Chains A and B, each alone.
Chain A
Amino acid sequence: MITWLANPERFTRVFAPIRPYIGGLAAVLFAWGLYLCFASPEDYQQGDTVRIMYLHVPAAWMAMMVYLIMGIASFFGLIFRHALADAAAKAAAPIGAVFTALALITGSLWGKPMWGTWWEWDGRMTSVLVLFLFYIGYIALHASIDDEVRAAKSTAILALVGLVNLPVIKFSVDWWNTLHQGASVVRMDGPTIAPEMLWPLLVMTAAFHALFVWLWLVRIDAEIITRRYRTLRARLSFQ
């Protein structure tokens, strides 16, 4: 399946017609999800601020999933030399960075009313911050290498090194956290989530996934077109 889709033209042919529907699906899911967010009851402890969760939690999930997708795409690009996999990894990075930033910002906004502080050096938050720095490094490395093939290779290596290292960093940060502050209670896994809160969360998660897939496909297509344009221009300048 992946080999079959590795042909850019075939990829465009298969996905270009589907793409608007995915975009539409994202819009519908967002409308539904946001409606559910505001229709859902207030939390007995957190009040209205609990609604931030419906943006925050899916964003944080996407932040990790997009990195995983980038790692897998990089693997295929590096080992099997699929040009499209390189484009897919490159296209996913800025989207992942934005999701990560969104998770950090909404977390901070949620933290102020709940914990009374914009930022707490909690293990989970620190790991997400490091993840954000990874995304920045990845994008910066890609931007600073002119040769497209080399840039793809170098960033793929970086993504794989990062993928192997992320659990280690996560572990070290958790270890550090227990070392520094065992007493403060900055955990949100309180009582098991009520079904009327689970539903908006699930719908919003689906909406975020659809949004990602849509943006990703658009960006991959833009990447393919950019490459085609570059090849054509190079060919013209040689004549």
Chain B
Amino acid sequence: MSTKINVAPHAALSLLKRDLSLSLTRGGGPLLAVGFYLTLMAMIPLSLGSDSTTLSRVAPGLTWLSLALASLLSLERLFERDYEDGLFDILRLGPLPMEVIALLKCLAQWLGTGLMLAVLTPFVMIILGAPVDAAFISLIGAILGSLSFAIIGGIGASLSLGTRKGGVLIALLVLPFYVPPVIFGAGLMQAYLTGAPITQALSLLCAYALFALALGPIAMGAALKSALS
């Protein structure tokens, strides 16, 4: 008699590992998003002028905007390949519910690219003229923000599975939902730089990330099931 073991945690862990290694290695890994992020950063002074007082005033906001846009890039491939080669049909037979599968895939994607972008954020902000002591708080903000972006983005990616307009459609669906984290994130930086208390912005940013974590998997699970049926 075999003892009954709960296989779900093992399955979850191996799926996370697989997806993480894929997101780190496949197609240049996070290089694409990072390159895009840095290119956007370079375009900002080119379009606004190199005047340092102007730049330092808009640096936090534009960095958040660039982070949001760079987070969009990898969404198209988030579920697409596994959907096309039939992996989802196999995963469906496994012990994990679709909601958890979707969440794990988003988390792997976030660990692979989103976190990388978040680590870059303080540097981008400083190069654009923000003070160096804002680095830590901008890193915290960017970690929370990129997590929200990854999960909300996953909803858009799962909804547009199997459509022909993939990328642009995802951007259109997802960007309105990026409004709150962009506002709270840029607000956090602004509060920090003006010396106002940061707890409100920070807790709202946390709240949105948790909200996305709670709501996102349900929506993604439903969308994936509908795409697979």
- When chains A and B are docked, how far (Å) is the Cα of A164 from the Cα of B215? 9
**Complex contact B163–A165 (CB within 8 A):** no
Residue in B closest to A129 when the chains form the complex, CB atoms = B176
Interface residues on A, range: 20 to 34
B190 at the interface (CB under 8 A from A): yes
B12 at the interface (CB under 8 A from A): no
**Complex contact A175–B226 (CB within 8 A):** no
Residue in A closest to B222 when the chains form the complex, CB atoms = A157
- When chains A and B are docked, how far (Å) is the Cα of A141 from the Cα of B159? 8
Q: Which of A150, A161, A164 has the most CB of B within 10 A?
A: A161
Task: Tell me which of A145, A157, A169, A173 contacts B163 (CB under 8 A).
Answer: A145
Residues of B within 8 A of A144 (CB): 160, 163-165, 169
**Complex contact A173–B179 (CB within 8 A):** yes
Residues of B within 8 A of A169 (CB): 176-177, 179-180
**Complex contact B159–A176 (CB within 8 A):** no
Interface residues on B, range: 20 to 34
Among the listed stretches A91-99, A101-109, A130-138, A199-207, which one makes contact with chain B, having 4 or more residues with CB under 8 Å of it? Answer: A130-138
Q: Which of B155, B160, B164, B226 has the most CB of A within 10 A?
A: B226
Residues of A within 8 A of B222 (CB): 78, 153, 157
Task: Tell me which of A133, A140, A150, A172 contacts B183 (CB under 8 A).
Answer: A172
B24 at the interface (CB under 8 A from A): no
**Complex contact B179–A136 (CB within 8 A):** no
A154 at the interface (CB under 8 A from B): yes
- When chains A and B are docked, how far (Å) is the Cα of A77 from the Cα of B165? 25
Cβ < 8 Å to B, chain A residues 21-50: none
Tell me how far the C-beta of B189 lies from the nearest C-beta in chain A, rounded to whole angstroms: 11
Residues of A within 8 A of B219 (CB): 157, 160-161
Residue in B closest to A165 when the chains form the complex, CB atoms = B177
**Complex contact B172–A140 (CB within 8 A):** yes
- When chains A and B are docked, how far (Å) is the Cα of A137 from the Cα of B179? 15
**Complex contact B173–A141 (CB within 8 A):** yes
Residue in A closest to B229 when the chains form the complex, CB atoms = A150
Cβ < 8 Å to B, chain A residues 108-159: 130, 133-134, 136-137, 140-141, 144-145, 150, 153-154, 157-158
Q: Is the interface of A mostly helix, strand, loop or mixed?
A: helix
Task: Tell me which of A154, A164, A168 contacts B226 (CB under 8 A).
Answer: A154
**Complex contact A172–B184 (CB within 8 A):** yes
A234 at the interface (CB under 8 A from B): no
**Complex contact A168–B208 (CB within 8 A):** yes
B227 at the interface (CB under 8 A from A): yes
- When chains A and B are docked, how far (Å) is the Cα of A144 from the Cα of B162? 9
Tell me how far the C-beta of B123 lies from the nearest C-beta in chain A, rounded to whole angstroms: 26
Residues of A within 8 A of B223 (CB): 153-154, 157
**Complex contact A150–B172 (CB within 8 A):** no
Cβ < 8 Å to A, chain B residues 7-53: none
- When chains A and B are docked, how far (Å) is the Cα of A153 from the Cα of B225? 10
Tell me how far the C-beta of A206 lies from the nearest C-beta in chain B, rounded to whole angstroms: 31
Cβ < 8 Å to B, chain A residues 60-89: 78
**Complex contact A168–B160 (CB within 8 A):** no
**Complex contact A141–B169 (CB within 8 A):** yes
A179 at the interface (CB under 8 A from B): yes
Q: Which residues of A are at the interface with B, using a C-beta cutoff of 8 A?
A: 78, 130, 133-134, 136-137, 140-141, 144-145, 150, 153-154, 157-158, 160-162, 164-165, 168-169, 171-173, 175-176, 179
**What are 21 inter-chain pairs, A to B, with CB distance below 8 A?**
A133-B175, A144-B163, A144-B165, A150-B226, A150-B229, A153-B223, A154-B160, A154-B223, A157-B226, A158-B173, A162-B176, A169-B180, A171-B180, A172-B179, A172-B180, A172-B183, A173-B183, A175-B187, A175-B204, A176-B187, A179-B187
